[in-house]
């Protein structure tokens, strides 16, 4: 299981950030193609708002887009000193703040409430305990009608079904091995939240090792009862985006 220590070592010491995370978007063609064709359609109803918090922002692959939809306060949190320094140096919009945290606490941003909380391609690597801890804090940081969209592991469920430790045809994506989407769904409900949608997705192999969970406070979005869907074509969608958008790249 990727521990806090593993995350600190990997992202602050071992990883070479020279491509700023753009390398992880190559399957879609670019971060721009991935944002506008894959991520934006899933979150567009919730952005274009006052205050946004991004957890585990890295070198800002999504920050640069999210900030454009933020009218007031943008806060980014990450456990890596290097990442936070890069973001501080490169994203200097008014009311834009970045904090290095201990991999657990959101205390540094708790003076504000947020309309939208976002994390993608990061919390897949944290333990269920750390994820649950973040979810509890997020629930206390959301405005009454605020929404959170997080990408996390579902590898615990896959492991239970298959018993196979490697998560993608023998290749390790370093997903947390205990987290399951259903446990996260129930945890949100038990802690005063409501799931708007849970999309259980593949990450290139056949198995549904990941999950996108969108949630809010219990009293918000009345009439919505959380949908859980399994989408085993998340990466097929990426391949289509790569092909279909190729002529529009580099214009």
Ligand X SMILES: C[S@@+](CC[C@H](N)C(=O)[O-])C[C@H]1O[C@@H](n2cnc3c(N)ncnc32)[C@H](O)[C@@H]1O
# of chain residues touching ligand X (CB under 6 A): 20
| Contact flag: residue 29 with ligand X (CB under 6 A) | no
21 scored as a contact of ligand X (CB under 6 A): yes
Out of 75, 116, 125, 167, the residue judged to bind ligand X by CB under 6 A? 125
Compute the distance between CA of residue 242 and CA of residue 171 in angstroms, rounded to an integer.
Answer: 22
In the structure encoding, which two tokens stand for residue 15, read together?
């990883």
**Nearest-approach distance from CB 235 to ligand X, in angstroms:** 16
Q: Parallel, antiparallel, or unpaired: how do β-strands 210-217 and 193-201 relate?
A: antiparallel
Contact residue for ligand X among 80, 128, 177, 208 (CB under 6 A): 80
Residue with tokens 């997705």: 201
Phi-psi region of 250 (alpha: psi -120 to 50; beta: other; left: phi over 0): left
The answer to whether 210 contacts ligand X (rule: CB under 6 A) is: no
Nearer to ligand X by Cβ, of 35 and 46: the residue is 35
Give whichever of 52 and 79 is closer to ligand X, judged by the CB atom.
Answer: 79
CB atoms within 10 A of CB 170: 9
The pair of structure tokens assigned to 84 is 């936070």
Number of other residues whose CB lies within 10 A of the CB of residue 99: 17
Angle (CA) 112 113 119, round 5°: 105
> Which of residues 27 and 220 has its CB atom nearest to ligand X in the complex?
27
Contact between 176 and ligand X (CB under 6 A)?
A: no
Quick check: 47 binds ligand X (CB under 6 A)?
no
56 binds ligand X (CB under 6 A): yes
Which residues would be at the binding site for ligand X (CB under 6 A)?
A: 7, 11, 21, 56-58, 61-62, 78-80, 83, 101, 103, 120-122, 125-126, 130
């Amino acid at each position: 299981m990727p521990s806090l220590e593993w995350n600190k070592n990997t992202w602050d010491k071992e990883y070479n950030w020279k491509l700023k995370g753009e390398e992880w978007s190559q399957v879609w063609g670019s971060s721009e193609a991935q944002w506008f064709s894959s991520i934006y359609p899933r979150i567009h109803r919730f952005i274009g708002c006052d205050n946004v918090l991004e957890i585990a922002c890295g070198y800002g692959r999504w920050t640069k887009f999210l900030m454009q939809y933020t009218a007031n306060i943008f806060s980014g949190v990450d456990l890596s000193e290097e990442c936070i320094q890069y973001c501080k140096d490169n994203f200097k919009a008014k009311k834009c703040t970045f904090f290095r945290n201990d991999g657990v606490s959101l205390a540094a941003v708790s003076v504000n409430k947020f309309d939208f909380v976002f994390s993608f391609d990061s919390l897949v690597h944290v333990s269920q305990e750390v994820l649950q801890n973040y979810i509890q804090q997020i629930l206390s940081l959301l405005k009454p009608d605020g929404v959170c969209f997080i990408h996390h592991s579902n590898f615990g469920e896959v492991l239970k079904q298959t018993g196979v430790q490697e998560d993608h045809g023998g290749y390790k994506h370093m997903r947390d091995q205990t987290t399951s989407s259903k446990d996260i769904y129930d945890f949100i409900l038990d802690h005063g939240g409501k799931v708007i949608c849970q999309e259980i997705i593949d990450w290139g192999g056949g198995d549904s090792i990941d999950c996108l969970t969108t949630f809010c406070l219990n009293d918000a979005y009345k009439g919505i009862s959380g949908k859980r869907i399994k989408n085993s074509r998340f990466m097929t969608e990426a391949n289509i985006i790569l092909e279909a958008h190729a002529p529009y790249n580099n214009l």
